[in-house]
Structure 1
Amino acid sequence: MNRVLEKWSLFGWVLMLLLLGCKDPEIAPVVKGDDGVVFAVDTKDSQIPYIVVDTKGKEILYEPGVLAEMKIYNKKKLELTQGINIEFRGKTSFRLSDKKGYNFETVDGTGEGVDVELLGLPAEEDWRFVGHVVNLNEKYAWDRSLIFNHVGYEFSRMIGKYASRGKFVELEVNGEYLGVYLLQEKLKRDSNRIDIKSLNEASTNLTGGYILKIDKADAGPEHDGKPISYFMNNWEDDARYTAQNSFRSNYDINGNRLTFPAYSAPYHPQQFLETYFTYEYPKAEDITASQKDYIANYIEEFEAALLADDFSSDLRTYTDYIEVSTFVDYFLVNELTRNVDAYRLSTYLVKNRDGKLEMGPVWDMNLAFDEGGRIPMDGWVMNYNNYVSNDPWMIHFWWPKLLADPQFRQQVKTRWNAIRKDVWSNASLQKVVDDAVSYLRTNGAVERNYAKWDKGLGVDYDGIIISLKDYINQRSAWMDSEIGSW
């Protein structure tokens, strides 16, 4: 009898062990916002805003935008539900990157634009989601630090210049986690952004305000509704300048008068010699013929004065046309960050009513901090034309000419020495990087971003940040020496 009991006791233990070993696999907990919306990732206790965009099944296009719902959460608590109109953004970055950027407009219930305050940023309707470029097929990424734009814009703000304000967020679109982005202000005329006077078809004072860009051309409304594949492969629109969207400088990149007609076919053999100014405000579809004539003639008069001035004398006439201090600051920000797109792409110019031409705000730093690898540490970005031959977008003659002027160089030197003692000290510059990295790392956003995007990239984030900080120290030291010798 005892043997039978022992046998059944042993059998029971074996059965219990088998049952314990066959329990159901663990299921990852469902992470939700406090309104019940399921998140694509677990943000744990992150204090970085988490944004969920839902287009309700509609495909996002390059243009026009589609209506969607945007929800903003903080520590999983819903803080805002807002209708938006969203579309893809960017040109080269759009085509090359698997991690897309977006333009969006906050809208009311009828789909009309409405000013909304987002994450403490001043109320407006036009916004950007800007992320870093990641190409999984070719295994490369631009700005692995995730902070180039933030740092570059903060450097500009530190010396008193407006730059697009933004907030780090983590973005989910239609159920897919997309990683770390900057929710940014679009650069536009607004009392809290580019604060200039309005200009419309009824305006009689033609002196301003204007916003111009030196940049690639924008696809026109005739391309609205085209499939994504069209924009992914259509590089020609980048160089399709027309009399409707732009005007051309009368001078080439060396300061010689152009003799061939404007608005030739995209990427024609002499395009590298041209500089086009595209209309940002008023928009190409709104600007009048008289306004076009005024601003084109103003640029022509400035350029003629710059070319005519004799720098061996004390007299300057080009300064009658430009706010020199803005050119100085634009130069310093883009040279410190070694932004290879500066001066020739994503370059904004502003002219207020009855005012002079101003440079800036700075924009688009995804190829700054030597990411482009085209400019040596001991070289000026404004000498880009010496390093890169016949790029379709070269640097206009303004900058070499300005730096040839002893008076302009002296203003650069005076400004540099002043800000290096204070707002641009080594410690101040390093703190911008440290604060941004701490915010992203402490809240786990770097790890979540690269869990999504590090597919064979081999991202060493700590090493990337060390390199960025070393770069800033080396570049500023070189500029100390170079500018100090003027």
Structure 2
Amino acid sequence: MRKKLSAISVILFFTFLSTNIVGFSTQTFAAETANLSEYIQYEMPIVAINTDSDTKIDSDEVYTDAKISVINDDGKYEMSDIASSVKLRGNSSMYSEKKSYKIKFGEKQNLLNIGDGKGKTWCLISNCYDGSLLRNLTVYHFAELLDGISYSPNCRSIELYVNHEYQGVYLLCEDVNINKNRIAISEEPNEVENNGYLVEMSRYAKDNKFDIDTATYEVKNDLSQTQSIKNQQINYISKYIEKAYSALKSGNEKELRKYIDLDSLVDIYIGNEIVKNVDAGWDSFYMYKNAGGKLCFGPMWDFDLAMGNANCVKGFESWKGFNPYNILNVNANSNPWFCHALSKSWFRDLVKKRWNKLQGKINGLPKTVIKEAQTNYKSYCRNFERWDVLGKQVYIEPAEISALTTFRKHYNYLGSWLNNRIKWLTQYINSKDFKNGVFVNYNGKQLTSNSNLLEISPILALLNTSDVDLTYKMLPNIGLTLSIKNGGVESWNTQVDASGFMIEQGAEYVLSFDYSCSETRQLPLCIQQNYAPWAPYYSGELKATKEPQHYETVIKAPASDSNCALIFSLGGNTFNGTDVTINNMSLVKKSK
């Protein structure tokens, strides 16, 4: 939804390296019909995509030509066989059977009249890792109430058919791009200062990217085709953001207001903290600057792993405690804007005032979950006839969520989680501890820069090839146990990965963990780059037996790196038929 946009200031995902942690069921589901006029409709609108010659949509780079039809709530066609093109979209969701899609029309459209105006590109988000199918929709609707953020993507749930085959419930959503009806800033590809810029802070940045401190950014709008002008454009916006970031770090509110729309920073922090977004600093953190305007934050984007739906980082499933990635700038998943802002008493005061002003709207958030679920109940349930995923481990959701066997249990869980979260945050934000800059985690322990880096790192079993066959269980003391049937061919095919932590050149770190294997095996480990070319900083090999052993060593960092990983390689046939346990993992920076 497009909201206020001042004249002078017009205008996170991490994801996981696994290619096959736990897949969706591939059962077939007969299409309700092979004829567009015969679709069986429940409460939701229907979107039907039919590709030319029934071509399969199998690329996230190349568009496939298609015709799209849309049936509204009343069962009437809003459009029929409109020419378009479609491709896959997403990061971790690319490995799910239930794919997400991006649609591009030749002429602007306002699908189901949900937007504030027309646009050429739209998203169909599968929410394949969210058993409630409601997390993204809930956040986008809540973001509409945060008028410090000028725009929130308009969306609604629909049922999707692709080439006459039923695909389930999807979130039809506006794409994040520059448009007078979306992010309404100027777009002059051959201008530098007189141009608007849409920027994403992302660890996946590829093109038109730049680094500031520990974060990587990518310009998302079209830039000049002339390389020299493009270089000037990237240099201009990167220098502006760097000045804004430096002003934030210095703590001078008056100076900061010269560069940043503080209302947007306050609101986007509140939006991310309520839902305890695990991707806060990894990916999908957007900001924009209009020609002659200040840096603004938004829109909010990508929350399927939020609201308790991730067990890869200790405590993230809990509605208690602050998101450590908003407090501690010690991790590649950390959001440095939030970390530095929250260290300032004046910013915390702004958050408290804003929270209390929004209290009535915030309190109503759980009710919006229940209302949406009950209003469209039959359609949501039909999704799970197509995808047999309830009551199973689908991705990285905690055991409490994977045990939920019905859609009703999922939406009630989400509503309850939000209700408890809001009550906890309301009490803490109005406490003396928050005023004094004291933040606690899920168990009430104060978050400090001396925290165990692996306690706030995503810990995963990585199944890096399709032939790997194993099961795993997260352990309560920062670790996991794996039962490996087939580890693949190469040592890297199966890995235990604790990723995203930062190291500083010359600093010393104490690495420790407990380990065992049901059969005697050599256990290789490595601290390395968490990105290509995966260069190592430390490596070793231990003899693992069925008797638990403890390992501890001091490592001096040979370089500074904002995105590292601790890797145990368990692939090849070495560990086939064995159970491996790695527990009590710790990496702590030694005090000087």
**Structure 1 segment 379-418 matched on structure 2, within 5 A:** 379-383=321-325, 393-418=332-357
Q: Structure 2 counterpart of 1:483, which letter?
A: I
Q: Structure 1 counterpart of 2:154, which letter?
A: R
Partner of 2:486: none
Shift of 1:38: 6.5
Cα deviation, 1:166-189, whole Å, max 9, x if unaligned, reads 121100111221100011100111
Give the SS at the match of 1:158.
coil
The 10-residue stretch of structure 1 (361-370 or 279-288) with the greater mean CA deviation from structure 2? 279-288
Partner of 1:294: 236
Shift of 1:83: 1.0
Partner of 1:131: 126
Shift of 1:364: 0.6
Q: Structure 2 counterpart of 1:419, which letter?
A: L
Partner of 1:258: none
Q: Structure 1 counterpart of 2:61, which letter?
A: E
Partner of 2:145: 158
Q: Is the 8 A contact 2:107 2:120 kept in 1?
A: yes
Q: 1:303 aligns with which of 245, 254, 261?
A: 245
Shift of 1:64: 1.1
Q: 1:438 aligns with which of 346, 354, 374?
A: 374
Between the aligned residues of both structures, percent identity stands at 27
Do structure 1's residue 53 and structure 2's residue 49 form an aligned pair? Answer: yes
Q: Is the 8 A contact 2:200 2:287 kept in 1?
A: yes
Q: 2:294 aligns with which of 356, 359, 380?
A: 356
**Structure 1 segment 37-48 matched on structure 2, within 5 A:** 37=36, 42-43=40-41, 46-48=42-44
Shift of 1:479: 0.9
d(CA) in 2 for partners of 1:208 and 1:447?
47
Q: Is the 8 A contact 1:211 1:349 kept in 2?
A: yes
d(CA) in 2 for partners of 1:30 and 1:182?
20
Shift of 1:435: 2.2
Where do 5+ consecutive residues of structure 2 fail to align? Answer: 1-29, 393-404, 436-592
Do structure 1's residue 470 and structure 2's residue 416 form an aligned pair? Answer: yes
Partner of 1:65: 63
Cα deviation, 1:422-461, whole Å, max 9, x if unaligned, reads 322x2x21331122112221xx112210001125645322
Do structure 1's residue 118 and structure 2's residue 52 form an aligned pair? Answer: no
Partner of 2:384: 450
* RMSD (Å) for aligned C-alpha atoms: 2.5
Give the SS at the match of 2:220.
strand
d(CA) in 1 for partners of 2:104 and 2:409?
37
Q: Structure 2 counterpart of 1:337, which letter?
A: V
Partner of 2:217: 277
The 10-residue stretch of structure 1 (463-472 or 374-383) with the greater mean CA deviation from structure 2? 374-383
Q: 2:133 aligns with which of 146, 166, 174?
A: 146
Q: 1:159 to 1:300 in 2, by over 3 A?
A: closer
Q: 1:342 aligns with which of 280, 304, 307?
A: 280
d(CA) in 1 for partners of 2:277 and 2:93?
16
Cα deviation, 1:218-261, whole Å, max 9, x if unaligned, reads 6xxxxxxxxxxxxxxxxxxxxxx4xx420111x23xxxxxxxxx
Q: 1:54 to 1:208 in 2, by over 3 A?
A: same
Shift of 1:466: 1.8
Give the SS at the match of 1:353.
coil
Cα deviation, 1:183-236, whole Å, max 9, x if unaligned, reads 1100111111111122221x2x61541100012436xxxxxxxxxxxxxxxxxx
The answer to which structure has the higher strand fraction is 2
d(CA) in 1 for partners of 2:198 and 2:321?
30
Q: Is the 8 A contact 1:207 1:294 kept in 2?
A: no
Q: Is the 8 A contact 1:48 1:168 kept in 2?
A: yes
Q: Is the 8 A contact 2:64 2:85 kept in 1?
A: yes
Partner of 1:215: 202
Give the SS at the match of 2:358.
helix
d(CA) in 2 for partners of 1:380 and 1:176?
43
Give the SS at the match of 1:114.
strand
Q: Structure 1 counterpart of 2:380, which letter?
A: V
d(CA) in 2 for partners of 1:457 and 1:477?
28
Partner of 1:245: 208
Q: Is the 8 A contact 1:385 1:394 kept in 2?
A: no
Q: 1:317 to 1:385 in 2, by over 3 A?
A: closer
The two structures have a TM-score, normalised by structure 1, of 0.72
Shift of 1:30: 9.6
Q: 1:216 to 1:178 in 2, by over 3 A?
A: farther
Give the SS at the match of 1:125.
strand
d(CA) in 2 for partners of 1:156 and 1:197?
23
Give the SS at the match of 1:248.
strand
Shift of 1:308: 3.1
Q: Structure 2 counterpart of 1:359, which letter?
A: F
Give the SS at the match of 1:128.
strand
Shift of 1:482: 1.4
Q: Is the 8 A contact 1:32 1:76 kept in 2?
A: no
d(CA) in 2 for partners of 1:348 and 1:397?
13
Q: 1:32 to 1:461 in 2, by over 3 A?
A: closer
Q: 1:476 to 1:127 in 2, by over 3 A?
A: same
Q: Is the 8 A contact 2:189 2:223 kept in 1?
A: no
d(CA) in 2 for partners of 1:125 and 1:190?
9
Q: Structure 1 counterpart of 2:163, which letter?
A: N
Partner of 1:12: none
d(CA) in 1 for partners of 2:422 and 2:31?
48
Cα deviation, 1:336-388, whole Å, max 9, x if unaligned, reads 1111112331110011111111111100111111112332433222536859x
Q: Structure 1 counterpart of 2:50, which letter?
A: D
Q: 1:331 to 1:434 in 2, by over 3 A?
A: same
Give the SS at the match of 1:465.
helix
Shift of 1:87: 0.3
Q: Is the 8 A contact 2:391 2:406 kept in 1?
A: no
Q: Is the 8 A contact 1:30 1:38 kept in 2?
A: no
Q: 1:333 to 1:30 in 2, by over 3 A?
A: closer
Q: Is the 8 A contact 2:187 2:195 kept in 1?
A: yes
Cα deviation, 1:371-427, whole Å, max 9, x if unaligned, reads 12332433222536859x85xx4224332211011111111111001010x322x2x
Q: Structure 1 counterpart of 2:112, which letter?
A: L
Q: 1:401 to 1:176 in 2, by over 3 A?
A: same
Where do 5+ consecutive residues of structure 1 fail to align? Answer: 1-28, 107-112, 134-141, 219-240, 253-274
Q: 1:59 to 1:475 in 2, by over 3 A?
A: same
Partner of 1:192: 181
d(CA) in 1 for partners of 2:284 and 2:390?
31
Give the SS at the match of 2:384.
helix
The two structures have a TM-score, normalised by structure 2, of 0.60
Q: Structure 2 counterpart of 1:399, which letter?
A: F
d(CA) in 2 for partners of 1:476 and 1:146?
21
Q: Is the 8 A contact 2:78 2:112 kept in 1?
A: no
Cα deviation, 1:50-99, whole Å, max 9, x if unaligned, reads 1221112223122210110111124554331211100000011112x110
